[in-house]
């Protein structure tokens, strides 16, 4: 079950780590819909909830997934260790770096790192 938490005075929709794995743009839309009325600044999604295809940029799933958040004006924080995925892909490493420079998608190790980001 997801919960709303406050980090540095920002409302965060914290997704449960035990939920279903997300593997499509439709899953992103459903997640946004769940959080939309809660007036949150960021949806924090455990990295473990994403399928391996998300981290394989050739599938275009990450782009489709993130575009949904951009379209709805919501920020997404992928929370957790993705170092194994990043180690295997220069393109993913660059994507993570560029995302962390922006406003819509961040990859962070934990909630403390997200709080520092906010």
Total structural domains in the chain?
1
Compute the average pLDDT of residues 86-113: 95
Compute the average pLDDT of residues 25-29: 92
pLDDT of residue 107: 98
d(CA 91, CA 53): 14
Tell me the CA distances in angstroms from 66 to 9, 74, 85, one per residue in order. Answer: 24, 10, 17
- pTM metric for this prediction: 0.91
Domain interval for residue 76: 3-117
Q: Which of 32-41, 43-52, 84-93 has the lowest mean pLDDT?
A: 32-41
pLDDT of residue 1: 66
């Amino acid at each position: 079950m997801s919960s709303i938490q406050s980090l540095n005075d920002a409302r965060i929709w914290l997704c449960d780590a035990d939920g279903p794995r997300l593997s499509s743009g439709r899953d992103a839309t459903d997640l946004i819909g769940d959080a939309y009325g809660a007036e949150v600044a960021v949806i924090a999604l455990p990295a473990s909830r994403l399928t391996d295809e998300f981290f394989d940029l050739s599938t275009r799933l990450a782009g489709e997934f993130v575009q949904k958040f951009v379209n709805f004006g919501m920020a997404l924080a992928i929370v957790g260790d993705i170092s194994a995925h990043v180690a295997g892909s220069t393109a993913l490493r660059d994507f993570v770096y560029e995302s962390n420079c922006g406003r819509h998608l961040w990859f962070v190790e934990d909630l403390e790192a997200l709080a520092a980001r906010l």
